[in-house]
A and B are shown apart, each in its own frame.
Chain A
Amino acid sequence: MAEELHGAIFDRPLPKELGAPAFVDGWRNRALVVCVIFAAATVILAFLGQAQDGLGWDHFLRAWMLGLMLTFGFAVGGLALLMVQYCSGGKYGLLLRRPLEAMSRTLPLVFVYWIVIAIFMKRLFLWARYTTVSSTAAALKDGLINEAQAHCLDFKRPMLNPFAFVGVSVLCFVIWGLYAWKLKSMALRRDAEGPETTPRWIKKFENWSGPGIVVYAVTITVASVYWVMSMDVTWFSTVYGLLYLVEQGFLVLAFGIIVAIALSKAEPFHTLLRQTEQHDLGKLTFAFVMLNIYLNFGQFLIIWSGNLPNEINWYLDRIRGGWGVVITLDFIFHWLVPFTLLLSRDLKRNKKRLTRVCQFMIFAVAVNLFWLIEPNFKDAARNLHFSWGILEYATLPVAMTALWVAAFCMRLKTRPLVQVNDPHLAEILEPEHAHA
């Protein structure tokens, strides 16, 4: 019907080649080279830092945590957006479905990253170092921790202890892994069966994904609280999990746009990525930019208004002693720049500029994580200062993300880039103005 209506000049046949183009292998190789270079730089910085202030390997682990949260955001955030997309539908999602699937299938690598944290948790978490009442009391007496920390350590021990940390984290990984595996295997079977089974498959994907989104919201809260928030035992915020949830949407959409635009240099995305859907993705990203500042500022405003001694210190640690510069830059990078740029309709429809903005957004997420992680530690709270070790934040996450990108590229190569048998596919092949 579409062809009859719009005539020959708007015909857009489905490309014959649906697999990932050959240059994805090139991306993988480049990513591996970047990984090796930055990993080597990190090790050098770690030794320099160790010689300088004895914190070189501590900074290594903190930077590792940043890399973990970043790649975890890609993998599990990709899974979450995939589930949202299966429930909500939408043509933008059909484009991203296979890239998101590939992101969710990198979960094993993220688990390996997490294992390093689990092994060295004593270096990162006070509650892993002082696991009994007596050791906490001794540390307090020696002046290693303050009274508030000692109180919180004892009070929160049923939740914050190594056993619970490992058990809960592994459970979360099992749940995410189950969903990632289920969605990927169902997708393959769906492709193999004919279009007549599509309505049944759509229902089936919805039934898996709907509850999956709820489970994701719970598990992301648990994971972010255990992995990052608990580095400061005295502080808590009920919106913390949601901040990471939104951050992952921000991150995954930015990465998804970069991938879709980069893939559009060759078939099948050359045909499939229309300006309409690119514009839609840009708008959705813009919504996440807004939601992100909304939640972050909301948390700040509530704690600033309350001005309670057990809450405000978390912000003071992150504003005083030079950290005000970082949070100001964070605000500019994370909100002001993407917000003002993504307001522009022309930019959202321009492949090159949209890619640049999305790359910058991923960088902004890393800056934000740096601001969240580093001031948790006594040597850095209210005291931003240069050391060789702190430079590892700029190298190790790059190496870890590069390795993750290589894994992502390998996953992307394993199956066709488009899900056939989807009603949206016919729509995406229509001329653009039929949907105005």
Chain B
Amino acid sequence: MPPREGTYGLLAEFRTPGDLVRAARQAHEDGWRRLDCYTPYPLEEAAEAIGFHRNKVPLVTLIGGLLGGAAMFALETWISVIAFPLNIAGRPTYSWPAFLVPAYEWTILWAGLSAGFGMLALNGLPSLYHPLFNAPNFRTGATTDKFFLCLEALDPKFDLVESKAYLEGLEPISVVEVEY
């Protein structure tokens, strides 16, 4: 695939989380869908403001945990009942109370691994490049004290001149055009 060229989007910088959330809410209300917020720390209101409510990580975690628990319980049952039955102090070979502890540990393990790797798989990380790195203020402040709203060029409403004027109406500190 040849490298993409042209405009990735317009990046508006805001001073406070409150300003960002207000602007993002406004943009979403005005019909923008290809837009994203960038903040130095998790800001749930910003995610809600742009209509991003759900992701599949909880589901992946749940499935991973259940499968992990079931796998270990099945393994223990298979070993103790079918493959290598032992008489341990007269207890039944299918001693489920004792099986629960490793099964529980595997539930936790696989839920944790599924959450971690599921998150990475779904959000596209690790990624070595992002067009927004081209914006100098993004490079210096996105992980410390600046709050950004990006309107992406893929949005059908996007128009370089009009969209820039629109973003400036949301009272940001600055608006810059970002190339791929």
Q: Give the contact stretch, choosing among A5-13, A196-204, A384-392.
A: A5-13
Q: Give the contact stretch, choosing among B13-21, B79-87, B150-158.
A: B13-21
Q: Mark A222-260, 1 if CB is under 8 A from B, else 0.
A: 000000000000000000000000000000000000000
Q: Which residue of B lies closest to A431 (CB)?
A: B18
CA distance A304 to B92 in the complex (A): 12
B18, B45, B100, B101: which contacts A5 (Cβ < 8 A)?
B18
Known contacts A297-B100, A304-B97, A305-B98; A432 and B18 CB within 8 A of each other: no
Q: Mark B18-34, 1 if CB is under 8 A from A, else 0.
A: 11011000000000000
Check A6–B17 contact: CB distance below 8 A: yes
B126 sits at the interface (CB 8 A): no
Minimum CB–CB distance from A318 to chain B (whole Å) comes to 15
CA distance A213 to B100 in the complex (A): 32
B18, B21, B43, B101 — most chain A CB neighbours (10 Å): B18
Q: Which residue of B lies closest to A275 (CB)?
A: B44
B22, B45, B91: which contacts A432 (Cβ < 8 A)?
B45
CA distance A297 to B46 in the complex (A): 42
Contacts of B100 on A, CB cut-off 8 Å? 297, 301
Interface residues on A, range: 10 to 19
Check A436–B42 contact: CB distance below 8 A: yes
A residues 404-436 with Cβ under 8 Å of B? 431-434, 436
A307 sits at the interface (CB 8 A): yes
A300 sits at the interface (CB 8 A): yes
B41 sits at the interface (CB 8 A): yes
CA distance A5 to B44 in the complex (A): 17
Contacts of B19 on A, CB cut-off 8 Å? 7
Contacts of B45 on A, CB cut-off 8 Å? 432-433, 436
Contacts of A434 on B, CB cut-off 8 Å? 17
B89 sits at the interface (CB 8 A): yes
CA distance A7 to B18 in the complex (A): 7
Contacts of A10 on B, CB cut-off 8 Å? 18
CA distance A301 to B102 in the complex (A): 13
B16, B42, B97: which contacts A6 (Cβ < 8 A)?
B16
Could you show 19 A-B contacts with beta carbons less than 8 Å apart?
A: A5-B17, A5-B18, A6-B16, A7-B18, A7-B19, A7-B22, A297-B100, A300-B97, A301-B98, A301-B100, A301-B101, A304-B97, A305-B97, A307-B91, A431-B18, A432-B45, A433-B45, A436-B43, A436-B44
Query: Considering the complex of A and B, which 7 residue pairs feature the smallest CB-CB distances, nearest first?
Result: A6-B18, A433-B45, A5-B16, A7-B18, A436-B43, A436-B42, A304-B97
